[in-house]
Amino acid sequence: MTTLSHKPASARPIPNPERSLITRLNMGSGTVVGILFAVITYYLLRHHFGSPWRVNHGMDMTNTHFVNVTILCTMFAWSFGFLVGIGALIGPFRWLIGKDLTAEEQLYLAGDGQGIKRYFKYCTDHKVVGIQYLVGVMAMLGVGGTMAMMIRTNLATPGSHFIAPIIYNSLVGLHGITMIIAMIIVSTGPFGNYIMPIMIGAADMAFPRLNALSWWVLFTAIPVLCSAWFLGGIPTGWTAYAPLSDQAGPGMNAFLATIIIFAVSTAVAGMNITTTVVAMRAKGMKWNRVPIFVVGATISVALAIPAFPTFMVAMIQTGLDRTISTGFYDANVGGSGWLYANLFWIMGHPEVYVILIPGVAALMEIAPVFVRKPLFSYGAAIAGFAGIAGLSVLVWAHHMYMSGWMPSLNGPFMITTEFISVPTGLLFLVLVGTLWRGKPWMKMPMLSVYAFIWDFLIGGITGIYLSDVPADNYLHGSMFVTAHFHYTLMGAALTGAIGALAFWFPKMTGRMLNDRASYISFWLIQIGFNVLFLGMFMAGAAGQPRRVADYAQAFAHANLISTIGAYSVGLGMIVLLWAIIHSWRSGIIAPMNPWGSKTLEWTVPYPVPLVNFDEPPVVTSDPYNYGRSAK
């Protein structure tokens, strides 16, 4: 690794391309143009197709169909208008007339020296995009978590009626989709954008404008998803099974528009991250010297590239069913709900690994630094990720064992599913191998490694029962499933992301994350989490279906345990949020490399210069050459 000299960023003159439209565009202009587009579209279509405030949206499906045209077009018009208004399309427009942005304009878009304003603009600097994702994800987790608290409050006692069933069902669905979206981006968004390019010694992402686009496209989905509440909610859960989704009221449009917009965002981000890693690594960073987080994040987004389009297609078909009655999923006219279920799970199972892999990879990046040992068997780690990614596209119908779609395929799908144990086992081997004979420096990132091992072990073992066809006869659709996937998505992937935040916080904010507050939050979250889902395993094993607003007296104890655990998690999250805000504003100033790590991002100062490195770094070894008698 090379030593770097650098000039302070502020020495650069602030570019100010005179009279260029670009200087006047930001989130505000985006919002104004977005609303304008939406309002115009709404008024143009209202007379033709009706408005949601004019028809009676009861169970009569034909009545609501044309209204859905108005609603969907209004939503997409908002999204498109926002992108026009924030200036996302100026570049493509210039290409149409045979020009491009001037060098000055491009520098202006990178936002250098523009202070806090650049976070509210179409900014191409990957570090700005990383912070935008970080704040966005925290907001989503906050909203999704609040919904979880309301769900658990309603379920604290049987027959509580704290929340009416119609609102409860919407809460379940919107909690689900908010958390799924947040968890898909929770590691690759903030750390994949901010840290990863520096980690591989690049000046920026391969396509900086697409990078900004991926964030702002995702941003436009947030108001769309929120609008579900004002359109009657969604009754389907986040799985949006048909034909219930065909039957659902206008709120369902918000869901499907969100997914379509989100799928565009992930496709753009996925291509960008993959290209960056393939094409922009520093000199000397051969494939066997790439930090494991970079490998994990790349495999994760590469897996998302084929997965999300099927969700998008599933949702486009739902939209067509709901607007022009195509009947893809309507058995009455020759369609099939199984078509939806297949499309959904072809996305749905890879998606859980899209979420999981970057979290695990971040912890694999962390463990060697704090144990002061090489990552145990880099090859096994890559085999584990690649094996999981490869198998994950062949297991989707294990979600459909009990659907009746193809009972004869249950055996084959059970075999592929069970074999995921093998690459998953390798991930455990890499982590415990790294811990073996180590004396880990017990800081917040390292604590997350331990929490991950416990949580993912429980998630993994319960997954083995669920992959078994006979046992799934009992467990499918029960609270047991809910507890299982929370162990993997929250206990494993979110724990990984929190560890990653604690680890990279000094590089992203220039300050150390407060130790005491993060330890308190860690134990509140982890103990609460295990109590919460222990209760839910009990309820599920006792026979409580998932997604129920109410339950029988027999499940009372289990649910009360669950709710108590949930409050502890909630409290822990508030403490963590406080720790983040407090440390970001007035934490201890971080040294350049507080953990003594050997990856490239710790060789640059804070604030990280616009092009990261003054001189392109040269890599001469893998980043894990810790240890006595290292060979």
* Token pair recorded at residue 381: 């780690």
Q: Which residue lies nearer to another protein by CB, 214 or 478?
A: 478
Among 50, 337, 491, 506, binds another protein (CB under 8 A): 337
Size of the chain in residues: 631
Site for another protein in 68-97 (CB under 8 A): none
Q: How far is the CB of 425 from another protein (least distance, A)?
A: 4
Show the site string, 416-435: x = touches another protein by CB under 8 A, - = not.
--xx-xx--xx-xx-xxx-x
Q: Which residue lies nearer to another protein by CB, 316 or 457?
A: 457
CA angle 445, 604, 615 (to 5 degrees): 145
- 315 contacts 239 by C-beta, under 8 angstroms: no
- 169 contacts 154 by C-beta, under 8 angstroms: no
Q: Which residues contact 250 (CB under 8 A, 6 or more apart)?
A: 52, 57, 64, 67, 68, 71, 231, 232
Task: Answer whether the bond into residue 607 is a cis peptide, omega within 30°.
Answer: yes
The C-alpha atoms of residue 489 and residue 497 are separated, in whole angstroms, by: 11
Among 157, 327, 468, 567, binds another protein (CB under 8 A): 468
Among 119, 229, 338, 485, binds another protein (CB under 8 A): 338
The C-alpha atoms of residue 622 and residue 606 are separated, in whole angstroms, by: 24
Site for another protein in 438-457 (CB under 8 A): 438-442, 450, 453-454, 457
- Per CB under 8 A, 271 contacts another protein: no
Segment contacting another protein by CB under 8 A, of 32-40, 352-360, 467-475, 489-497: 467-475
The C-alpha atoms of residue 618 and residue 611 are separated, in whole angstroms, by: 16
Q: Which residue lies nearer to another protein by CB, 442 or 618?
A: 442
Q: Which residue lies nearer to another protein by CB, 275 or 325?
A: 325
Among 35, 55, 471, 574, binds another protein (CB under 8 A): 471
- 537 contacts 562 by C-beta, under 8 angstroms: no
The C-alpha atoms of residue 250 and residue 257 are separated, in whole angstroms, by: 11
Q: Which residue lies nearer to another protein by CB, 10 or 621?
A: 621
Q: How far is the CB of 390 from another protein (least distance, A)?
A: 15
Site for another protein in 502-561 (CB under 8 A): 537-538, 541-543, 545-552, 554
Show the site string, 587-616: x = touches another protein by CB under 8 A, - = not.
--------xx--------------------
**How far is CA 53 from each of CA 12, 71, 230, 253, 538, rounded to the nearest angstrom?**
54, 11, 11, 15, 44
Q: Which residue lies nearer to another protein by CB, 475 or 575?
A: 475
Name the residue type at position 16: N
Q: How far is the CB of 584 from another protein (least distance, A)?
A: 20
Q: Which residue lies nearer to another protein by CB, 216 or 456?
A: 456
Identify any residues that bridge with 283 across adjacent strands, giving them in sequence order: 618
Name the residue type at position 160: S
The C-alpha atoms of residue 182 and residue 262 are separated, in whole angstroms, by: 11
Identify any residues that bridge with 511 across adjacent strands, giving them in sequence order: 589
Among 29, 146, 247, 275, binds another protein (CB under 8 A): 247
- Per CB under 8 A, 150 contacts another protein: no
Segment contacting another protein by CB under 8 A, of 102-110, 121-129, 346-354, 461-469: 461-469
Q: Which residues contact 320 (CB under 8 A, 6 or more apart)?
A: 326, 328
Show the site string, 343-382: x = touches another protein by CB under 8 A, - = not.
----------------------------xxxx-xxxxx--
Task: State the number of CA atoms in the 13 A half-sphere of 13 facing the CB.
Answer: 4
Q: Which residue lies nearer to another protein by CB, 208 or 460?
A: 460
* Total number of residues that touch another protein (CB under 8 A): 94
Segment contacting another protein by CB under 8 A, of 177-185, 312-320, 352-360, 468-476: 468-476
Q: Which residue lies nearer to another protein by CB, 26 or 583?
A: 583
Name the residue type at position 419: F
Q: Which residue lies nearer to another protein by CB, 98 or 404?
A: 404
- Per CB under 8 A, 437 contacts another protein: yes
Q: How far is the CB of 445 from another protein (least distance, A)?
A: 12
* Token pair recorded at residue 36: 């304008």
Name the residue type at position 397: A
Chain-centre distance for alpha carbon 615? 33
Among 135, 139, 331, 409, binds another protein (CB under 8 A): 331
Site for another protein in 201-240 (CB under 8 A): 235-237, 239
**How far is CA 372 from each of CA 296, 430, 440, 592, 616, rounded to the nearest angstrom?**
21, 14, 7, 18, 27
- 392 contacts 413 by C-beta, under 8 angstroms: no
- Per CB under 8 A, 28 contacts another protein: no
Q: How far is the CB of 493 from another protein (least distance, A)?
A: 18
Show the site string, 107-146: x = touches another protein by CB under 8 A, - = not.
----------------------------------------
The C-alpha atoms of residue 575 and residue 95 are separated, in whole angstroms, by: 49
Task: State the number of CA atoms in the 13 A half-sphere of 382 facing the CB.
Answer: 12
Q: Which residue lies nearer to another protein by CB, 16 or 621?
A: 621
Show the site string, 385-414: x = touches another protein by CB under 8 A, - = not.
-----------------xxx-----xx--x
